[in-house]
Each structure stands twice: as C-alpha cells, then as structure tokens.
Copies of this chain bind each other. A is one copy, B any other.
Amino acid sequence: VTPQRLTVYRALAGDPTHPTADTLHARVRPGMPSLSLATVYRILESLEREGLVRRVSTVDGVARFDANLAPHQHVVCRVCGQIMDIEVKTLAEVSLPRVGIPGFVAEALDIRILGTCASCEGGPSSPARRSRKPRRSK
C-alpha cells in the first residue's frame, strides 16, 4: 500500500537531521501540495508500526523520526538541537547485561551523547548558528 507514502518515506530516508513530522511535511509539500500534516503523521505512524521508521527520544516533547534501521546511536548538540548518527554497534559493546534490576530482560540500548557540535562551539556568535530549537522555546 503506497502513494504519497513513498514520498514521505524517501524524504525521511534522505534526511540525516531526524526531522519532525512538521518539517517533513514542509519538505514534501512543494511536490505534493495537497498532502496534509495529519496524513504525514498517519504515514509515519504506520511506517513505525511496520518497523521501517523509528521515533527517537527527545527531551523537548517533539517527535523526531529516523529511517536509519542499522543499529546506531545519537549525538545531540545542546545548542542547536542537531541530532547526528554514530555507529555504536549493539548491546554487547556497552556492558548491557549488567542491569542491576532483577528480572528485567534488556532488549535494546538507546544512547544519546550530549554536547556541543563544531558549528556551535565558540560562543553564541559563532559560525553556523542553526535554526533547530535551542531548547525549550515551544
């Protein structure tokens, strides 16, 4: 089943910034003006259900999606909010089994490395000031 689904999926797959539903919608609009935001949400939801897309955890309450299915983790810039992928293979790499909770069956690892990206390093008037939400301003 797929018409504009392809469009949305491709847009997400070709975007390394882990866009929000809204961003994706805007990015796809020009080539498909009638596509509504609600539909984008529905498409993302089904893609997630089908396991083609993942929702990445954030601390600001806005959903961000990722079509990169290869096991990887994220690096987040606290200043510009940019999210980048890094290859930290799987559970084994970080002593997962050592969860001190009895009876808990660990299944997956979700790691986020917080810091400052190259562009944002060096004071507030640096080179690439990004537009992505600079924490809490909703």
Interface residues of A (CB under 8 A from B): 55-59, 61-63, 75, 77-78, 84, 86-87, 94, 96, 99-119, 121
For the complex formed by this chain, how many copies does it contain in all? 2
Are B94 and A117 within 8 A (Cβ)?
Answer: no
7 CB-based A-B contacts, threshold 8 Å: A86-B101, A99-B113, A103-B118, A106-B113, A106-B115, A109-B112, A111-B111
Q: Which residues of B contact A56 (CB under 8 A)?
A: 59
Contact A61:B62 (CB < 8 A) given known A106-B114, A111-B110:
yes
Are B62 and A55 within 8 A (Cβ)?
Answer: no
Q: Which residues of B contact A100 (CB under 8 A)?
A: 86-87
Q: Which residues of B contact A121 (CB under 8 A)?
A: 103, 105
User: Please, which residue of chain B has its CB at the minimum distance from the CB of A58?
Assistant: B57
